[in-house]
């Protein structure tokens, strides 16, 4: 059974950093593109970053470019999101998602989702 489990969320002050992890099981991880999305209260789920199967291609939302870095370790079936220079507007539940083949930004095109991890940035 396919499963994605996020970890690493928490409370941090503005300007701080967090590293999120997403561990995958039950799927051939190295054949999947992986994405990070976030959802703040009262808002729709939005794209944050994505990475292709071998890490050779990444894509970022304009709001996080230069601050967030997505990476993956196929030997550990894990994708990461390093978040630096955090802002209060980054506060949200962060989700990882998986889809086969190409990197896309549309959440409905992802096949599997984790339960999410809360990130709260205080001002």
**CB neighbours of 87 closer than 8 A, spacing ≥ 6?**
14, 121
DSSP symbols for 5-69 = EEE--EEEETT--EEEEEEEESS-GGGEEEEEEEE-TTS--EEEEEE-TTSS-EEE-TTTTTTEE
pLDDT of residue 84: 98
Q: Walk along the chain (123 residues) and give the pLDDT tens digit of each residue.
A: 999 999 999 999 999 999 999 999 999 999 999 999 999 999 999 999 999 999 999 999 999 999 999 999 999 999 999 999 999 999 999 999 999 988 999 999 999 999 999 999 999
| Bridge partner list, 62 | none
pLDDT of residue 30: 94
pLDDT of residue 51: 97
């Amino acid at each position: 059974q396919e499963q994605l489990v996020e970890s690493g969320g928490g409370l941090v002050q503005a300007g701080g950093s967090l590293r999120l992890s997403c561990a995958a099981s039950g799927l051939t991880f190295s054949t999947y593109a992986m994405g990070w999305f976030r959802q703040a209260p009262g808002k729709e789920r939005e794209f944050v970053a994505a990475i292709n199967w071998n890490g050779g291609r990444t894509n970022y939302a304009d709001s996080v470019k230069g601050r967030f870095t997505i990476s993956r370790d196929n030997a550990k079936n894990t994708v990461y999101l390093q978040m630096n220079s955090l802002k209060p507007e980054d506060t949200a539940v962060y989700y990882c998602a998986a889809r086969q083949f190409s990197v896309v930004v549309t959440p409905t095109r992802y096949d599997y989702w984790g339960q999410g991890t809360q990130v709260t940035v205080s001002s």
